[in-house]
Amino acid sequence: MKKLTIILIFLFICGTSLFSQEYDDLQEKYINNDRLKLFPATGKNYFFLLSVNDKTQIVIGDLTRTDKKIILINLNDDYTTIKSVIEYSPATKQMSTKKSSDSKFFTTDIVKLKKDIITGAIIKGNNADDMKSFGELERIFQQNDSSKIFPEVYGFSVKHTEVDETNKILAMYTFGNHIGSGYYLQFKTFYYRENPMSERQPKLKYSVYSKLSHDPIIIEYVDTLFKIRKPSASFVE
């Protein structure tokens, strides 16, 4: 019986790991209609900014309404206007292409929407997971703690940890500029606390994922961090 219990626990851990990895992979590539169907369809609302290879997309999981919707906003090459809005209904399995959405989170002010996702402003009071956002990153980066900041050739990785003796990793940030190829900015939250005694894992670990991007908003926030400290590549061009 004891051996069976150990095996079941092991299988559960493996299954959880694979489940998390599935969503990680989902967030690191261009999202088409089929991939949109794989986003979480239950739980809290979520907001995700993706900018890869000069294509920027925004996903909104509006899941606390009666008719749950997963919304994909595709942007034009100017990064500020909407090319298309795709809505997927998990309940009916129906997908439709629209010019806008009736979700209370939808807006045509794309610049503000992107900034609200990066800063975490959109998660406040909207029944969403407490994703670690730009404010925490900037604060940690300014402290210049070598145990939390890891220089790379083109940027930095920054570790956000518990404020106690455990130093458990709450989130990891990665940002930089591959000179000639594009910028990258990634916010990955592993867990957060709803109260001092509980840990909760978000279903989507990334709130922001970008690489090889020339999106002006991504550039703006990375350059803001570079004003605090520049990567070594800035001096070897």
> Rounded to an integer, what distance in angstroms lies between the CA atom of residue 131 and that of residue 112?
18
- What is the domain range of residue 10? 2-235
Q: Is pTM beyond 0.85 here?
A: yes
Predicted pLDDT at 23: 57
90: Cα separation from own chain's centroid: 21
Helix boundaries (H) for the chain: 2-26, 33-36, 110-119, 134-143, 216-226
Return per-residue pLDDT of the chain as tens, 237 residues: 444 433 333 333 344 343 344 556 789 999 999 999 999 999 999 999 999 998 999 999 999 999 999 999 999 999 999 999 999 999 999 999 999 999 999 999 999 999 999 999 999 999 999 999 999 999 999 999 999 999 999 999 999 998 876 789 999 999 999 988 999 999 999 999 888 788 899 999 999 999 999 999 999 999 999 999 999 875 544
Q: How many domains does the chain have?
A: 1
